[in-house]
Amino acid sequence: MTGTLVSFVGMAIGGRELSLELDTFQILFFRSLIGLLILCLVLFNKGWHFAKTRHFPLHLLRNVSHFGGQFGWFYGIAYLPLSEVFAIEFTLPVWTAILATLILKEQMTLPRFFAVVFGILGMLVILRPGMGVLNPISLIVLASAVCFGLSHTLTRRIVWFDHPITILFYMTLIQLPFGFFLSINDWNSVSLSMWPWLIIVGITALTAHYCMARAFAIADATIVVPLDFLRLPLIAVIGYLFYNEMLDMFVLIGAFIMLFGNFINIRAEHIKEKSS
């Protein structure tokens, strides 16, 4: 989880620095390019059979939604306090639970229902609609969380057939042309000072996925999820020290509400698995 926390924070800082000179779509292009080069080295070592799939349409749909999520996330990183972006991202389990029920026909259990309710309540506390403080960019980040929810739901289907390396390979391969063609009309030359940040974003985008998967593989979700929540206070400190961002108490309260609902669901699933 330390690797996950460092990766997400590094990606956020890199995205903020890159946004000073580059368009969001251009950042996503280089993110995919660097990630693809790294994965080609992995495939050269592990074997190119990992690049084969019989489920390309699923990968395509997953990466259309994931690309939309990435755009909204990096766009929010450029204009919103970092802690607010991370807090809104914690609505992801809400959308995943809803979409998994609709698409994968998973059962909406009572604990999942409570997680959805608490997630929506936490989201309303953070966004505060009707109080004159709703930022349109916050809605873009919220939409990105919905896109990530669809991406996660489709990933749960794809892992039935394909290896995680295959999923990451097609993630970078498919999203590469998306980023290129959408950024070509607003392309900026990359200054020498931006290249280290591009490399950081490209690497951390992969290590965040890998470290999170490893954490769930070796530790119980009831441990992993609360540790993942440490991203919020950590990025809040980073935002304060480097960008003079003050932590909004509504953001912290809303995030705690969402964490509480998510923890109830995970704890119930854990008890169910042990009893079975």
- Interatomic CA distance for residues 126 and 128, integer angstroms: 6
90 vs 132: which has the higher pLDDT: 90
* pLDDT for residue 209 is more than 70: yes
What is the reported pLDDT for 127? 78
Residues 3-54: tens digit of each pLDDT: 778 888 899 999 999 999 999 999 999 999 999 999 999 999 988 888 899 9
pLDDT category of residue 129 using cuts at 50, 70 and 90? low
Question: Where does the pLDDT of residue 146 fall: very low under 50, low under 70, confident under 90, or very high at 90 and above?
Answer: very high
Instruction: Measure the CA–CA gap between 211 and 187, rounded to whole angstroms.
Output: 32
pTM as predicted: 0.87
Calpha distance 216→253 (Å, rounded) = 26
Give residue 225's pLDDT band: very low, low, confident or very high (50, 70, 90): low
Number of domain units in the chain: 1
3-state DSSP: the chain helix, strand, coil percent, rounded to 5?
Answer: 80, 0, 20
Q: Which two tokens stand for residue 226?
A: 């609360």
Per the CB < 8 A criterion, the answer to whether 69 and 145 are in contact is: yes
Tokens of 269: 């699933």
Q: 114: domain range?
A: 2-275
Burial 93-102 (b: 16+ CB within 10 A, else e): bbbbbbbbbe
